[in-house]
């Protein structure tokens, strides 16, 4: 971090070079429903490849590549890597611009605060560096941070949650002020907005922001809203909404806020509630992929997100399989902005 070039964390809607996924394997928590999750990943990856190149990290290039039967307009690149799980949003590199040059930040991933084994996932970006990127394109960060924990408007404002970033099992030796200062240094951030409220039942991430509230434009935030007083989320999400209304951007202006529907409750086979959310959408070049859950609110969510992104094709992706392991569409992906190479240089 000794460069004099200014740093900037781009917004997700800026032009992208490719999007990354880590393909599921049987030696993981997906073993009991492997065919279902593979079908979901195939749909997400092939849909993504209609709009831009895709990078797929997998245990076996030969076995995984044969699963893809449909030709896509953009290439799907397979790279052999070992992984514990599939949540690329949290173990993938986070790209900033340093001046005009992209720089990949490789943060420490410790299984969402040491909840799950993550040693292989934590090394995944370093392994990709051996195959694709040059060492001088990567900056290793001795700081625990998952991509799903932050969201950027591209102009210097960062959105996050206190429950996640102040977790005692992530960076316990740093105060909130110290963490804010580190984020400002690393990302060139001018303002950090901390949500103190909001959660989803069944969430393992300590309230990742990408399950609750997302920038859609520099001054527009879409957020999960709950209008059912009998729902367990009602009070927390009402408080989250009130706090969002108090937030101001880097220029001192309030945000335009757009509520997203709250999906009808989804449960796993043991009857535990799952963290279904429409905030977990993925923005691509020319498209927005939106998770759906086979509930009545799916159509309304697609309509609202379509209005937020009128210049992009909005596509619903059935993510009932993904939420069985407490994540969704955005969680399994990581986009890379223009300038990041996908081929060895």
Domains and CATH numbers, the chain: 7-337 (3.75.10.10)
Count the Cβ atoms, other than its own, within 10 Å of residue 173: 5
Residues in the chain: 345
| In contact, 279 and 224? CB cutoff 8 Å | yes
pTM: 0.96
Q: What is the pLDDT of residue 1?
A: 52
103/310 Cα distance (integer angstroms): 30
Rounded-to-10 torsion of CA 119, 45, 31, 147 = 30
329/73 Cα distance (integer angstroms): 21
β-strands 16-22, 333-337 pairing? antiparallel
| In contact, 96 and 8? CB cutoff 8 Å | yes
Burial category of 313 from C-beta neighbours within 10 Å (exposed 0-12, middle 13-18, buried 19 and up): middle
Q: What is the pLDDT of residue 129?
A: 87
Q: What is the pLDDT of residue 135?
A: 66
What does the pLDDT profile of the chain (345 residues) look like in tens digits? 545 579 999 999 999 999 999 999 999 999 999 999 999 999 999 999 999 999 999 999 999 999 999 999 999 999 999 999 999 999 999 999 999 999 999 999 999 999 999 999 999 999 998 888 776 789 999 999 999 999 999 999 999 999 999 999 999 999 999 999 999 999 999 999 999 999 999 999 999 999 999 999 999 999 999 999 999 999 999 999 999 999 998 889 999 999 999 999 999 989 999 999 999 999 999 999 999 999 999 999 999 999 999 999 999 999 999 999 999 999 999 999 999 988 765
Q: Which residues sit opposite 7 in a β-bridge?
A: 98
91/125 Cα distance (integer angstroms): 7
Q: Which residues sit opposite 164 in a β-bridge?
A: none
Triad 22, 149, 166: Cα angle to 5°: 130
């Amino acid at each position: 971090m000794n460069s004099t070039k200014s740093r900037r964390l781009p917004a997700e809607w800026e032009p992208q070079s490719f999007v990354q996924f880590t393909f599921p394997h049987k030696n993981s928590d997906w073993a009991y429903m492997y065919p279902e999750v593979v079908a979901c990943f195939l749909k997400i990856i092939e849909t993504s490849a209609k709009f831009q190149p895709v990078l797929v990290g997998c245990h076996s290039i030969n076995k995984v590549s044969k699963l893809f039967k449909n030709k896509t307009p953009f290439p799907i690149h397979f790279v052999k890597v070992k992984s514990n799980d599939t949540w690329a949003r949290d173990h993938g590199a986070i790209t900033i611009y340093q001046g005009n040059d992209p720089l990949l930040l490789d943060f420490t991933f410790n299984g969402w605060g040491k909840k799950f084994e993550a040693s292989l996932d934590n090394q995944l970006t370093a392994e990709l560096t051996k195959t694709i990127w040059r060492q001088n394109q990567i900056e290793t960060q001795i700081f625990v941070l998952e991509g799903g924990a932050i969201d950027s408007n591209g102009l210097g404002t960062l959105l996050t949650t206190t429950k996640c970033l102040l977790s005692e099992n992530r960076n316990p030796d740093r105060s909130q002020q110290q963490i804010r200062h580190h984020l400002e240094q690393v990302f060139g951030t001018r303002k950090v907005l901390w949500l103190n409220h909001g959660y989803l039942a069944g969430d393992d991430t300590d309230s990742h922001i990408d399950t609750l509230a997302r920038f859609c434009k520099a001054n527009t935030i879409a957020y999960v809203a709950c209008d059912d007083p009998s729902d367990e989320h009602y009070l927390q999400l009402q408080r989250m909404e009130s706090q969002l209304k108090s937030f101001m951007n880097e220029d001192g202006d309030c945000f335009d806020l757009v509520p997203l529907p709250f999906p009808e409750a989804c449960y796993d086979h043991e009857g535990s509630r799952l963290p279904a959310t429409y905030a977990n959408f993925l923005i691509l070049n020319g498209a927005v992929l939106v998770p759906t859950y086979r509930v009545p609110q799916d159509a309304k969510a697609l309509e609202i997100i379509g209005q937020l992104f009128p210049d992009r094709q909005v596509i619903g992706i059935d993510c009932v399989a993904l939420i069985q392991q407490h994540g969704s569409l955005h969680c399994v992906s990581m986009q890379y902005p223009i300038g990041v190479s996908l081929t060895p240089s």
